[in-house]
Amino acid sequence: MSDIDVSMTLRAYDQFCPLLLGDVPTPGVRLRIDRNSPLILQMPDGLDVAEVSFNRYVVGYARGDDSLLGLPAFILRGFRHRNFFVRADSPLERLEDLKGLRVGTNSWPDTGTMWARAAMRDAGVGVEDVRWVLGTLDAKTPNKPPSPSDAQPPGDARFLTGSENLLDELAAGRIDAVTTAFAPQPVFERNGAIRRLVRDYRRVEAEYRRRTGLYPIFHIVAARRSFAERNPRAVLAIYDALRASYEVWATKMRRFAEATPWAMADYETMLHDFTEDTPPFGMESASNRRVVEAICAEQHAQKLVASPARAADLFAGFEALRRAAG
């Protein structure tokens, strides 16, 4: 039987560079990976497998769209307490301080923004407790094009227009904080004009993890369902290759975790404190099941969907393929 040609998008995360470099086999599959395409909102013609937003994937399921078959490959995870930003001279220090204030964001439907709002809700600040402002982050960073299936912000949200942008509004004091996917450059500058709201975010995030058991998932890998049903072994081979790539990276980390002074200490923290999340694959661990159930509940609590998706449905198609393949 000849190999199957498969087109895939995947960003060049460290743990998947072995796959991108061709160091991991994909039996029966000639895999072409585009590592430069932006994160897709809908699977275009000619693309078979892709890195996708977990929030948008789950929203789709909640609304009855099962055109994608998700793989339980949790390729991007993280916490979002660190991703709130204020002026350097701001008196604000905690998520709790945002209640009643003006908070800006440049993408309401993003998974990271959804988890940021979840962190606020955990701190006692509901979505309805702040005045939301939507716009571009700055003059150089365009927003993603909208999708018809995007969850919408509250009806009283303010939208910036023309040349207005969130960082200018923050600098002028017209908004109090911004939450966005990536820290603005001034955060990394000595005496920069912008700082993180939660200064000791590692301690706060670790406490959140201990108390809730959650390690948020941002992105997963998904296949076009029609492709997966025609080529189940190709989908399983890609899943296995992602896992194998992670193991190659993990072996390298155990030997050469020297990219930063304490990279080895961080890697050991992951192994010791995030045992059920390492490696980040599958629904066998209670930790992974917990965070998948949490995103379904959060979407409903934040009024992103009328009825929550069922956590058991999200990867049922993949599990069916795996059982059928033995």
pLDDT given at position 308: 97
Average pLDDT over residues 30-55: 92
Position 127 scores a pLDDT of: 97
Q: Is the pLDDT of residue 20 over 80?
A: yes
- Domain 81-210: give its CATH architecture: 3-Layer(aba) Sandwich (3.40)
pLDDT at 149 over 90: no
Give yes or no for residue 49 having a pLDDT over 80.
Answer: yes
For the cut 60, the answer to whether the pLDDT of residue 274 exceeds it is yes
Asked if 121 contacts 114 with a C-beta cutoff of 8 angstroms, the reply is no
User: With 80 as the cut, is the pLDDT of residue 11 above it?
Assistant: yes
Residue 190: per-residue pLDDT: 94
183-188 long-range contacts (CB < 8 A, ≥24 apart) are 183/82, 183/83, 183/85, 184/85, 184/137, 184/138, 186/88, 187/85
Q: What's the pLDDT tens digit per position in 212-234?
A: 999 999 999 999 999 999 999 99
How high is the pLDDT of residue 150? 82
Read off the pLDDT of each residue in 72-89 and give the average, rounded to a whole number: 98
Q: Which residue has the higher pLDDT, 151 or 33?
A: 33
- Report the pLDDT averaged over residues 273-299: 97
Interval 129-148 mean pLDDT: 90
Extract the tokens encoding 189.
């500058």
Per-residue pLDDT tens digits for 153-182: 999 999 999 999 999 999 999 999 999 999
pLDDT above 60 (res 261): yes
How far is residue 178's CA from residue 112's CA, in Å, rounded to a whole number? 13
Confidence band, pLDDT 50/70/90 cuts, at residue 1 = low
* Start-end of CATH 3.40.190.10 domains in the chain: 4-78+215-325, 81-210
- Rounded distance, CA 279 to CA 74, Å? 9
CATH number of this structure's domain 4-78+215-325: 3.40.190.10
Q: What is the mean pLDDT of residues 278-293?
A: 97
Inform me whether the pLDDT recorded for 65 exceeds 70.
yes
Task: Report the predicted TM-score, pTM, of the whole model to 2 decimal places.
Answer: 0.96
Q: Is 124 left (phi over 0), alpha (psi -120 to 50) or beta?
A: left
pLDDT digits (tens, 9 = 90+) for 180-199: 999 999 999 999 999 999 99
CA distance between the termini of the chain: 19
147 has a pLDDT exceeding 80: no
Query: pLDDT, tens digit, for every residue of 240-256?
Result: 999 999 999 999 999 99
pLDDT for 86? 98
pLDDT for residue 133 is more than 90: yes
Q: What is the per-residue pLDDT for 69? A: 97
Computed over every residue of the chain, the mean pLDDT equals 95
Predicted local confidence at residue 40, as pLDDT: 79
| Residue 208 in tokens | 């959140």
